[in-house]
Amino acid sequence: MDNITNILMAGVGGQGVILASDLVTEVLLEGGFDAKKSEVHGMAQRGGSVHSNVRFGKKVFSPLIQKGCADILFSLELLESLRYIDYLNKDSIIIINDYRLKPPSVSLGADKYPDGIYELLKKSFPKVSLIKGLEIATNLGNPKTVGTVVMGHLSNYLDIDENVWIKVLNRELPKKILDVNLKAFEEGRAIKRVS
């Protein structure tokens, strides 16, 4: 397990968690690391929980992250960040998109969406970065680039040259959405990392 970094990526169906994890994995491979990925779609098409494990290092044998071993939590929805809290440890970096999507139980009035998720996480984990990803993506003209905004911020925590990220985005994304995604990546990358 020496020198292996674990990134747990979470969100809900339709937010682009799987695409983001695919892109991050490609960047890691392009950057010279061994990388493994696994994903769980759940009820992805219905707004259900989606998560992906991305592990990288010199040599990685399993794509699965054990509880307490996530180095980075990348979450595109606030409540989803709480769902995976048992995978974190005191040194984990948490990157959260400041977005709420009410689960069906909340929409039906059976449950209440919890308040103060960021504050709750901040009490236990010193490195929490709250990103206004949807706001940034909307201002760029395409709300669907929210995952790329948050991924841009994630890039600040990985020791991979920015040019590698740009190369992979150019190679993997369709031409019609490339420019806006490159802008989204740059906007996210410009957000100062938590230390």
pLDDT by residue for the chain (195 residues), tens digit each? Answer: 468 999 999 998 777 889 999 999 999 999 999 999 998 766 545 567 889 999 999 999 999 999 999 999 999 999 999 999 999 999 999 999 999 887 766 777 888 888 899 999 999 999 999 999 999 999 999 999 999 999 999 999 999 999 999 999 999 999 999 999 999 999 999 999 887
Could you give the domains of the chain?
5-100+114-189 (3.40.920.10)
For 182, the token pair is 């490159």
CA distance 135 to 150: 11
- Do the Cβ atoms of 55 and 7 come closer than 8 Å? yes
In the chain, the N- to C-terminal Cα span, in Å, equals 24
Four-CA torsion 88, 91, 92, 95, nearest 10 degrees: 140
